[in-house]
Structure 1
Amino acid sequence: PAELVEPAMQRLVAEPHGPRSTRLYPTPERWGSLPRTYIECTEDRTIPISSQRRMQAMSPGAKVVTLDADHSPFLSRPRELADALIEAASR
C-alpha cells in the first residue's frame, strides 16, 4: 500500500559487502548437515527466478518455498514470508 512505501523506503539501507565476499570452505561431510529452505520470489526483478533456481541447484536437498513476491517479500508478502520462516525454523 502507498501509505507504507515512504516509511519503508526510509528504513532501507545498503547491505555490507563482507558477507558476500568472504570465502567459505564447506566440507563434503558437513555440507547439507542442517536443513535448508530456499524462499524463491517469482516477481523479483533484482534476482530473476532463473538465477534463483541456479542457486537452488547448487544447494541440493533444500526445501523450496515459492512466493509470488518481489525482491522484498517482507513488504509485499509479509504474512506468507513469516509463515515460511516459521515453518523452516520448526524443521
Structure 2
Amino acid sequence: MHSFFEKKSANTTSTISTKKATNLEAIPWVEKYRPKKIRNFARQTVNIYILDEADAMTSSALCRTMERESSSRRFMLICNYGLTM
C-alpha cells in the first residue's frame, strides 16, 4: 500500500514531507471532492448545545427540540444511564 506521507528522521530532529500523486486515481476520493462539498458546509455557523441528563427528558420533548432547532444548532447529549435512551 502506497503512503502519501514519508517520515524522515536524522539524529534528534524529524520532518514529515508529502508526496504528490502522479495520476488522479492515486488520490483518495475525499481529496478529489473536498473543495466542492466541504467548503460550503464548513462556512455555516452553528451553535452547539449540550443537553445534560438527556435520559431524563421524554422522547417527545427531545425529538421536538431537536427537530425544531436542527437547522442552526447541533446537540450533544450527556446521559447518566445510556441504556434508557
Q: Do the two structures share a fold, i.e. TM-score over 0.5? A: no
CA radius of gyration, larger in: 2
Q: Give the structure with the larger strand fraction.
A: 2
TM-score (norm 2): 0.30
